[in-house]
Structure 1
Amino acid sequence: MFRFRIFLALSLLLNIVSLKLIAQTNTEASVKADKLVKEALVKFRESNFEKSLIISRVALNSATSAKNYSLISRSYNIIAANYNELSEVDKAIFFYKKSLYYANKTDNDSIKYNLYNNLGNMYCFEKKQFDKGISYYKKSIAYGLKINDLNQIYFTNVNIAWAYFDIGKFKEGYPYLRFVGNNTEKYGDKTTEIVVNMLNGMYASYSNEDDTANAYFLSAIHAGQDSEEQSDLSFAHLEYSKFLTRKKRYKEAYENLASYNKITEALYNQQKLEKASIAGFNLELDEYKRQIDKIENEKISQSQSLKKSRIIVILFVLISLILLVLIITLIKNIRFKKKHNLELVEAKEIAEEASLLKTQFISTISHELRTPLYGVVGITNMLLEEHKELAQSQHLSSLKFSARYLLSLVNDILQINKIEENKVILENLTFNISDEITMIKNSLSFLSQKNNNKIKVFIDPCIPEYLIGDKLRLAQILMNLVSNALKFTKDGEVEIIVNLNKVEEKFYFLEFHIKDNGVGIAVVDQNKIFEKFVQVGRKEEDYQGTGLGLSIVKRLLGLFGSKINLESNIGEGTSFSFVIPFEHDPQKTKKIIDEIEVDLTSSEVYKILIVEDNLINQLVTKKIIEKNNYVCKVVDDGFGALDIIEKEDFDLILMDINMPLMNGFETSKRIRLKGITTPIVALTAFDKDEITDESISSGINDIIVKPFEPIKLFKIISYLIKETKNVG
C-alpha cells in the first residue's frame, strides 16, 4: 500500500508537468473533429449516407481522443441520423441515446433539445410508441424554453401535431397545429412549409372541409417541388392520395401514390444502402476498437510521464516485472478466449443457418404437399357424395385414409418445428370438456374398430360445464395419446378419465388419465419414447406412426406448465397422466361465445369469387361452395380477379396466395386501392403463422389453410359477409 501511494504521488507530479502538452494536443484534435462533424453533416443533408457515416467515424475517433464530450455527442447524433434515414431504427435509437449520454456531460442545451426531438421522432414515427415519443418531445420543448429558442419549439410542435394526426387523434393534435399556424410567419421557413400545409390538409379533411383540404395539399406539393425536402414531399403525396381515395377520385389518388413511390425509391437507392451498410459495420468495429485504443493511449501517456524521472523508472522496473507476468498471463487468456469465442461464434452461425434452412425446407415441403392433398381429399369426398354406391369401396376408403395420414404427418412435423422455435402461443377459447372428448372418441372410432377395442370415458361431475383455455392443443394432446393407446392394444379397452384435482380461485386443475391394457412399454424404453422419431415395440408387429406424437405431447404440456407421468409394464398395459389448469368464468365464457357465435341458417344466396390457378383445386373449391347453394365464379389469376370485380359485385373473395404473374398479396392490395371493401379470405396451403402479417398488410380479412373442414369455411364466409353489411 505504501509503495502504491508513492507511485500515485509521483504520477500526479508527472501529469501536472505534461498537462500543457496534452491540452495542446486535445485542442488540435477538437478542431479536427469539429471540421469533420460539419463535413459529415453536409454529406448527410445531401443524402450521401455512405460518406456521412465514414466521416462521422473519423470525427468520433478525433473527438474521443480529445475527450471533447460535446463533439462526441454531435458525432453520435449524425451517426444516428444516418441510421434513421437507412431505416435501421434500433441502431438509430442506440446511437441517439449514446449521444444524449455525452450531451448530458456538457452544458450544451441546444444539442439536448435536438436529441430529445430526434428520439421523439423515432418512437412516434418508427417504433409507433407514441406515448414515449411525445414525452421526449415535451422534454425537447423544455430545453427549447431554457435556451429561449422559440424557433426550435415551433419545429417540435409541428412534430407533435404530426404524431397525433398519424394515429387519428386530431382533437389532441389540433392545439399544437394552431400554435404552429399562429407562428408560421414568425418562425416558419421553407423546411416546414410542406409539412405544415400537409397537416392543415389532414385536419381540414378530418373536419370534412374538402375544398380547404384540397387547397392545402396542393400547396404542400407545390412547395415541395421547389424544395430539397424530398422526403416531406413524398409524405405530402401519400396523404393527398389517402384524401383523394376517400373522395373516390381514384385516378388522381393513384398518380399521387405513384409519385410517393418514385420519390421514395430515388431517396433510398439500393446501391447507397449496401455501401452504407459496409460503412456502418466498420463503425461498429471502431466502437470496440476505441475501448482498446483508450487503454493503449493511457499506457503510452503513463510511460512517457514516467521516463521524465529516474526515480520513477527505477520503481517502475519493479512494477513492470510484475505487470509483465500479468500481461503475459492476460495475453494467453485473451488468445485462448478469443479462439474459444471464435469457435462458439462459428458453431452458433452454423446452427442458426441450419435452423433457418430447416424451417424453410419444412415450410416448402408442407406447402407442396398440402396443395395436392387438398385435391385428393376433395375429389375423394366428391366421389363418395356423388356416387353413393362407392361408399363401401375399400379403394376409396384407403385413398382417403392415406391422404389424411400424410396430412397428419405434415402437420406433426410443422407442429414440432413451431414448438422448438417458440412460435406456439396458447389461446383462450371456451369449451365443454365432455363434448371435446366425445368428438375425439368419435373421430378415433375407425382405429378402435380396426383393433377390436373399446373406448371408455369417465368425467368427474364436479367439473364445470364450460371452461376457458386452449381446447385445440388439449385435443391434440388427447388425440395423440388415445390413438397411440389404440394402436398398441388389441381386443382390449382404452380409458379416458378426467378428475377434478383442485380449485384455486377461478382455475380448475383437471387431472387426465389415458389407460390401456395393451402390450406395454419396457422400463428401458420409457425414457426414449418422448424423443423425436423414436418408436419402440416393433419387434413382432409393424405399428404405423412417425415417432412424433409423444414428443409433441410432452412439448405441448410444457406450454401448459405441466409434465406427463408414465406407468407401464410389458404385457400389462400403459397409463399416461397429467394435470392442466383451465379457467372457469361464466361472464367471460358468455362474452367469448357471443363473439364467436355465427348464424349459418340464413337463406340468402351469396355470390363468391374464387381466385385460383390450380384447375383441380378450382373444381374442388367450387363444388364445396355450390353445395351450400352459393353462386360461384372462378378466375385463374390476379389479373382476372381485378378485371371481373370491375364488372360484377361479389359478397366475398376466396384468394389463393401462390399464383404466377401476380400473387394473392399483390392482388389483394390492388383490390383495396380501388376502394373495394369486399371481404377477402386467403385460401392457401401455406402455414397460417407464416403469412399472417403480410396478409393483414395486404387487406386480407382471414386465412384458411388447405385442406379444411367445409363447415369452418362457411362459418367464416357467413361471419365476414354479415359483418361487412352491418358496417356498411
Structure 2
Amino acid sequence: MKLKLSLHIACFSLYFLMTHLYAQVSDNRVNRDSIEKILEESIASFSKLTEEGTEKGIYLLELAENLAERLNDPYTTVLVNRERISFLFNNDDTITIKKYLSRNLDIIKKIGDKRQLGLYYEDVGVYNSALGKRKEAHLAALIAEQLLSKYGEVEDVIDVNYNLCLGYLKKKKWEASLKHGIKSLNAIEKTGIKQNRSNNLYLYLAEDYINLNQFEKAEECFANIKNGDSLYANDPHFKGRLLFAEGNFYEKTSNYKKAAFFYSQSSNSFYEYHNKRTKEVSTSLVLSNELSLQKEENERIKIENELKAEQLRNSRFIILFGTLVILGLVLMSILQYRVSFYKTKMNKLLKKNYKKLIKANKKVDKALKAKSEFLDSVTHELLTPLNTIKGTTFLMKKEELSVHQMDQMQLINLSTDTLLNLIKDTIHLNDLEKGAIELKKEQFNLKSLLNNLIDSSLMVKDNNNKIYRKIDNTIPDLLISDMLKVSKIFLKILENALKFTKNGSIYIEVSLVTLTDNNASVEFSVKDTGVGMTKDQVNKAFEAFYQGSVKINREYGGTGLGLSIVKRMLDLLDSDIVLKSKPNEGTSVSFVINFGVPEPVTEKNAYQSNDSNSLKKNVNILLVEDNKVNQLITKKIISNYGFCCDSAYDGTEAVAMVKKQNYSIILMDIMMPKMDGFEATENIRGFNTEVPIVALTALSEKLNKERFNEVGIFKILQKPVIPEQLYEVLADCCKE
C-alpha cells in the first residue's frame, strides 16, 4: 500500500513539474537556449537510472523535439536528433536510429556545415559498430575525426578519438592507437569535461607504450590512474584490466616475480567481477524463467480454448467441405485436360517459332558482322581522302599564300576537322556498344586538366558567354583514373553548354564529396542559361543522333552523339548522369566520379642524362600506300622533315623491296589490293624481325588490336595522319 502511494505521489509530482515547465516555455519565446536547457534536464534524468527518471527524461526529450519543430532552426533540430539517437543507442533500437541519421544528413546537406557533418559521421561510426560492421564503423570514424579536427570544437574530438584509440588497440596498431588516445586526453584536459574517460584512456596508452617498449611513459600512465580519480578501485573489471596491464609491463621488463603477482591479483579481480555478474544474471534469469513459464501456461490454456471453439465451429462445415472438394476435383480434371491439350498445341507453336528465332539470330549475327566490316570499309574510304586533304593543306601552308588563300585553308581545315570528329564519334559509339573500350589507370592532376579544358574551349567557341568556375582546392593534386575518358566526358558537356548558350552565363562547379586514404569522390556540375529542353527532349537526350528537333539541328548543327557517348562512358566508370532542364531557363548536368588516390612517394633528386636524341644518319623510310594521291602527299611531308623516302603500291611490292634494301622504318597501309598490310607484315617478319613497322590506317585500333599485335606491327597511326605526330614517330624510331 505504501509502495502504491509513493508511485502515485511521484507521478503527480512529475506531471506538475512537466506542466509547469511546458507553461514556462510556452509563455516565453521559444529559442535555442531554452531547448538546450530542456535537453540538459533530460540527460540528467536519464543518468539517475530510475523508472521515474527515465519517464521524465523521455517526456523532456519529446518536448524538446516538439519545440524544435516549432522553432524551425536546423542546428537545433540536428542537436535534438543527436540526443534522440543517443537515447535509442542506450535502448538498442537500431531501426529507429537509421531514420534519425537520415534526417540529420538531409539537414546538414542543406546548411553545408562541416562540423555537423563530422558529428554525423561520428554517429554513423557508432551505429555501424553496434551492427557489427567494423570496417564501415572505422571508415566513418576516420572521416569524422578529419572533419572535427579541422572544423569542430575542442570537445568534439574527445569521443571520436577515444573510439579510434580503442579500435586501433584491438587491431594491435599501437602507434595509431597512441596518437588518437593522446588527442582525446588533450581535449579532455583543455575542456575539463568527460573526465570519466581519462582512466580508460591512460590504460589504453599504457598498453600502447608497453608494446612499443616505452616503459617509462607506461609507468607515467599507471601513476596518472592511481593519482587521479579513485573510483576505479570500486570497479573490479577495470581493476582487473589495470592489474593485468601492470603484469604485462613487468613481464616485458623481465621482472617475472612481480608479473606473476599482478597477474594473480588481476585474476582475483576478474573472478570477483564475473561472480558478481553471475549472481545478477542468475537472479534475472530465475525471475525471467518464472515469468516465462507463467506466460507459456497462460498461452497454452488460451490456445486450447481457441482450438476447442474452432473445432465446434468447423464440425458442421466438414460434410459441405468434402462435397466441395469432390466437385473441385472433377472440375480440376476437366481443366487439366484442357490445359494439357493447350500445352501440346503451344509446344508445337514454340518449336516452330524457336526455329525461326535461331534463323533470325543468325541473320542478326551476320548483320552485326556486316556492320563492323561496313564501318571499317566506310571509315577507310572516308579517312583516306581526308588524309589527302589534311596533307595537302599542311604542305600548302608552308608555301607563300595570300591572306585570302590562308582564310580558305582555314575553312578547309575546319570542315575536315568537323567531318573527322563525326567519323570518330561514330566509331567511338560503336566501340562502346560492343564493349571494346578498356579503362586505363593513370595518375594526373584533375584541377589542372579541368582549367586547361575550360580555357581551350573558350578559345574555340564562347558565344560571348561568361564562365564562372569553382574548383574545390581540397581535391588531391594527383588522382588515378582514365584521364582521356574523364576529359571527353567533361569537354562534351561543356561544349554543349557553350554551343546552346549565347550572351549568357555558364557555372562550373567541381567539389570533393568524400576522401579516404585510397579513394576520392568528386562531383561535377555544369549549369547554363541557354535554350534549355522540354521534358520529352530530356527523356530522349541520351539517344544516339537525337537533337530535339530539325530547327535545333539547323540552327546549332552537330550530330546528336555527344550525350549518348557521355552516358556510355560514365557507365564504364560506374557512374550516372543527372540532367535537368526547362525551356528558355537553361540546363543543369551533374555526375559523380570515384577516383583512386595514389600513395605519397618520396621525390628523388636523381637526374640521368640522355644523349640518344640524335637521329641516325642516312635514314631511309619505305611508304606502302595504294592511293597515289596519299602516297605523293605523305612522301612530300616526310621529305620536308629531311628524311629519304621510297614508296610501294601494294604489299607484294613492299616485301620485295625490303628483301633488297635495309630500311630504318616501314609505314604500312592496311587495306590494299593483291596483298594487304597484315599479310605483308607477316611476310616481312619472316626474314626481318628488327625493322619497325608502323600502320597508317583508318581501321579501328580497338577492334583490330589482337590482329595488329599478332603480325608484329610496332605502332598504329590513324588516318588522316597529323604531320606532327608522324614526325614524332619517325624521330623516335630513327634515334641512334
TM-score normalized by the length of structure 1: 0.50
TM-score normalized by the length of structure 2: 0.49
